[in-house]
């Protein structure tokens, strides 16, 4: 009986996680698409009714949204869409560039030959992909392979936190700027070749430049959002 109850609890939790995943992804798309303005409330009950679920997966999705820097809690502990200022975005990508380039430099020294070849295989799969959503996953695999190859858990943990906060912006890069997909593929190849050649300094510079390119596109997206939404949208709710 206890085993059956535990199994049912596990199945229920997995369903909650899957529902939270869907809600999280939908809210990211809505916020990044400009349908939800900064300062707009994210009400648990209203979202639960919209998605046809209980408040538990909604609460989990909102918690993740806050971790991603796209939502925050007011004084009444209610979530609302967070305003991203140009200064916040610049600092976020600057920190990401510094940490990720340090990891890439270590990867250039520490990756095994098999890992280097696997990285190049990821690049090849990216070259053959023209779908922004699929390429976004290939992009994640590329950066993950470099992070793992660096073999530094402290830097990796720091990057994981930053990546959670840049994820929505990097994904929007490929969806909203058709040129970014092609430039990202070229940058990935240059980085992989530098790692393949054990060129530490070049790898570091290329990754810094790669993150900077992503920032420039993200900055343009943010500027467009502010223009589209207008001034009233950036009033913060209590």
Show pLDDT as tens, one digit a residue, over the chain (238 residues).
Answer: 555 554 444 444 456 778 999 999 899 888 887 788 888 999 999 999 999 999 999 999 999 999 888 999 887 778 999 989 999 999 999 999 999 999 999 999 999 999 999 999 999 999 999 999 999 999 999 999 999 999 999 999 999 999 989 988 998 999 889 899 999 999 999 999 999 999 999 999 999 999 999 999 999 999 988 787 664 443 443 3
The per-residue DSSP string of 12-80 comes to HHHHHHHHHHHHHHHHHHHHHTTSS-TT-EE-HHHHHHHHTS-HHHHHHHHHHHHHTTSEEE-TTS-EE
Which among 33, 57, 37 has a CA at the least distance from the CA of 45?
57
């Amino acid at each position: 009986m206890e085993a059956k109850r535990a199994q049912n609890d596990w199945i229920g939790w997995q369903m909650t996680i899957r529902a939270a995943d869907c809600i999280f992804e939908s809210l990211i798309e809505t916020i990044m698409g400009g349908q939800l303005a900064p300062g707009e409330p994210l009400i648990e009950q209203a979202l639960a009714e919209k998605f046809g679920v209980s408040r538990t997966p909604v609460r989990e999705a909102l918690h993740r949204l806050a971790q991603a820097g796209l939502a925050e809690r007011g004084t009444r502990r209610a979530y609302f869409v967070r305003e991203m200022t140009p200064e916040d975005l610049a600092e976020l990508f600057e920190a990401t560039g510094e940490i990720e380039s340090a990891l890439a430099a270590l990867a250039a020294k520490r990756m095994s030959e098999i890992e280097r070849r696997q990285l190049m295989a990821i690049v090849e799969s990216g070259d053959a992909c023209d779908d922004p959503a699929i390429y976004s996953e290939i992009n994640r695999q590329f950066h993950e392979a470099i992070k793992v190859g660096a073999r530094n858990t402290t830097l990796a943990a720091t990057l994981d936190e930053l990546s959670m906060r840049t994820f929505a912006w990097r994904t929007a890069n490929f969806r909203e700027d058709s040129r970014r997909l092609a430039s990202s593929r070229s940058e990935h190849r240059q980085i992989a070749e530098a790692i393949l050649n054990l060129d530490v300094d070049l790898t570091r510079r290329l990754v810094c430049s790669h993150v900077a390119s992503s920032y420039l596109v993200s900055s343009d997206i943010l500027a467009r959002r502010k223009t589209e939404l207008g001034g009233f949208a950036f009033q913060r709710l209590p």
